[in-house]
């Protein structure tokens, strides 16, 4: 198998996510914090799935039920294991002993707070095992190696050991080839290696990294695969969370442009992990794509718009300063303009919602025009109600449509109307008080006030 092939040997992904993340200063477990709209743990699970993992085991700490919920949502077949005491990485892996004993092929250890590892990197690690190694370690050349375990090699480049910084001498600390923590094992030898790990070190913990020296003592082959430092950046505090977010956003922007999307100011656009943009979409500056957004070919998203769980069809125009909330479905060639909010509504082909409008729990028919300041009154304080606006209708500015109500095809609603009853097709509906004129009133009022 080459490094670019899909793995053919069965393999188990063990994801360590028991860390409290005290430096995050959060009630959430560290691995539950999101990047690009998805928890870090779910990112790691998704990468494992993309690399064709046959099974997954997630190791969490006590009282971390939220991580089990994330695990089940990401993969209902994945299993959670609890590490009740935090006694090191090898101890954490052994919390999933039942999964290890039942595994065939290979086992890969990943981390729930290291979400940027690429699928192709996983593939290369597993390929090294197929090539005869018993253990494959993922390393990187660190710009500043402080705090990392060092990968120590002999004059021929063979890996001798991984030395944690607290246990390293000055010469070893000068080494820049560092351990990412990600390691792959042959399933048939993994438990035997793990059970020989002791805790005779500065912290009194069971280090997974000790497995390298143990494997070599047994005459087993240990290899190193390398990747870019950014790929194995872990998250321990909010600053690192922001740094990881910046990296994944850069990846997502690059992928979008490679696929044919124009980003006028790429660094200002925020994507989610599942944003789908077709070729020839144009995105202006300062647009946010929350999870669940699809935009079809030829659509344009104007500046300062926010989209979430929405579908924008071909050739539609969104914004500037538009907000599409969950359930918004904007038809081909439709326009959702300045300061318009759409929620759980279908806006059919060619319809126009140009200015200062709210449409929720509704249908707007094809080629209908909604005047500025129009709102759909969909909530009565207890329940949401539906508004149906037919094709080719014209709703005058500053109108309020009180749901449930139906506006027929081709109907016209006069400006400033509050519509509480259905309007038949091609009818004109006007609801407003009669305009009152009082001659001379303004002059008399000024005189009264000495003006």
* DSSP annotation string for 111-130: ETT-TT--HHHHHHHHHHHH
If you average pLDDT over residues 369-376, what whole number do you get? 98
Select which of 43, 355, 385, 449 is catalytic.
355
User: pLDDT at position 8, please?
Assistant: 74
Backbone angles phi, psi at 359, to 5 degrees: -125, 115
Helix, strand or coil for residue 270?
Answer: strand
Indicate the helix (H) or strand (E) that contains 324. Answer: strand 323-324
d(CA 200, CA 175): 23
User: pLDDT at position 2, please?
Assistant: 41
| pLDDT confidence band for 7 (50 / 70 / 90) | low
| Strand-pair category, 341-347 with 428-429 | unpaired
Share of the chain above pLDDT 90, in %: 89
Helix, strand or coil for residue 272?
Answer: coil
d(CA 142, CA 145): 5
For residue 256, pLDDT over 60 is answered with yes
Q: Which whole-number Å values give the CA distances from 276 to 7, 46, 449, in the listed order?
A: 27, 17, 63
d(CA 207, CA 162): 10
Instruction: List the structure tokens of 155.
Output: 């004059």
Q: How many residues does the chain have?
A: 451
- Residues 60, 81: contact at Cβ < 8 Å? yes
Helix, strand or coil for residue 325?
Answer: coil
355 in active site? yes
Q: What is the pLDDT of residues 321-346, one digit of tens each?
A: 999 999 999 999 999 999 999 999 99
Q: What is the pLDDT of residues 439-449, one digit of tens each?
A: 999 999 999 99
| DSSP states along 361-426 | EEEE-TT-EE-TT-EEE-B-SS-B--EEE-TT-EE-TT-EEESSEEE-TT-EE-TT-EE-S-B-TT
d(CA 9, CA 311): 39
Instruction: Please tell me what DSSP assigns to residue 95.
Output: T
What burial class does residue 169 get, using C-beta atoms within 10 Å of its C-beta: 0-12 exposed, 13-18 middle, 19+ buried?
exposed
d(CA 316, CA 307): 13
- Helix 65-74 to helix 40-50 angle (10° resolution) is 30
d(CA 351, CA 371): 11
Instruction: List the structure tokens of 121.
Output: 């990197």
For residue 200, pLDDT over 90 is answered with no
| Averaged pLDDT score across all residues of the chain | 95
User: pLDDT at position 156, please?
Assistant: 78
**What pTM did the predictor assign?**
0.92
Note every long-range contact of 429-432, with CB atoms under 8 Å and residues 24 or more positions apart, other chains counting: none
For residue 278, pLDDT over 50 is answered with yes
If you average pLDDT over residues 60-86, what whole number do you get? 95
For residue 279, pLDDT over 70 is answered with yes
Instruction: Please tell me what DSSP assigns to residue 433.
Output: P
- Residues 185, 126: contact at Cβ < 8 Å? no
């Amino acid at each position: 198998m080459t490094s670019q092939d899909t793995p053919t040997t069965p393999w188990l992904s063990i994801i360590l996510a028991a860390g409290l993340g005290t430096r995050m200063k959060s009630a959430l477990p560290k691995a539950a914090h999101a990047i690009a709209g998805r928890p870090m743990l779910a990112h790691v699970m998704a990468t494992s799935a993309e690399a064709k993992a046959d099974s997954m085991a997630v190791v969490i700490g006590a009282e971390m039920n939220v991580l089990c919920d994330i695990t089940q949502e990401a993969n209902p077949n994945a299993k959670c294991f609890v590490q009740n005491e935090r006694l090191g990485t090898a101890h954490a892996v052994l919390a999933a002993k039942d999964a290890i004993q039942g595994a065939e092929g290979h086992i890969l250890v990943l981390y729930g707070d290291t979400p940027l590892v690429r699928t192709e990197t996983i593939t290369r690690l597993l390929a090294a095992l197929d090539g005869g190694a018993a253990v494959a370690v993922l390393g990187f050349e660190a710009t500043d190696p402080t705090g990392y375990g060092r990968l120590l090699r002999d004059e021929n480049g063979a890996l001798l050991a991984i030395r944690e910084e607290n246990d390293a001498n000055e010469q070893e600390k000068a080494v820049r080839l560092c351990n990412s923590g990600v390691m792959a094992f042959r399933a048939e030898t993994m438990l035997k290696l793990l059970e020989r790990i002791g805790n005779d070190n500065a912290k009194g913990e069971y280090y997974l990294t000790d497995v390298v020296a143990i494997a070599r003592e047994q005459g087993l082959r240990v290899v190193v695969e390398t990747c870019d430092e950014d790929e194995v950046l872990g998250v321990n505090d909010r600053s690192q969370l922001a740094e990881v977010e910046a990296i994944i956003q850069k990846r997502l922007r690059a992928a979008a442009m490679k696929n044919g999307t124009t980003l006028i100011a790429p660094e200002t656009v925020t994507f989610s992990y599942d944003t789908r943009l077709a070729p020839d979409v144009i995105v202006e500056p300062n647009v946010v794509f929350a999870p669940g957004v699809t935009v079809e070919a030829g659509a344009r998203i104007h500046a300062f718009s926010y989209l979430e769980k929405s579908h924008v069809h071909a050739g539609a125009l969104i914004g500037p300063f538009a907000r599409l909330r969950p359930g918004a479905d904007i038809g081909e060639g439709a326009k959702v303009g300045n300061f318009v909010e759409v929620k759980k509504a279908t806006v059919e082909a060619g319809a126009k919602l140009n200015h200062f409008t709210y449409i929720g729990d509704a249908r707007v028919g094809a080629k209908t025009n909604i005047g500025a300041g129009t709102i759909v009154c969909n909530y009565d304080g207890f329940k949401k109600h539906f508004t149906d606006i037919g094709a080719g209708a014209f709703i005058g500015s500053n109108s309020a449509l009180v749901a449930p109500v139906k506006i027929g095809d081709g109907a016209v609603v006069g400006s400033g109307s509050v519509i509480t009853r259905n309007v038949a097709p091609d009818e004109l509906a006007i609801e407003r008080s009669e305009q009152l004129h009082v001659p001379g009133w303004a002059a008399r009022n000024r005189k009264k006030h000495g003006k």
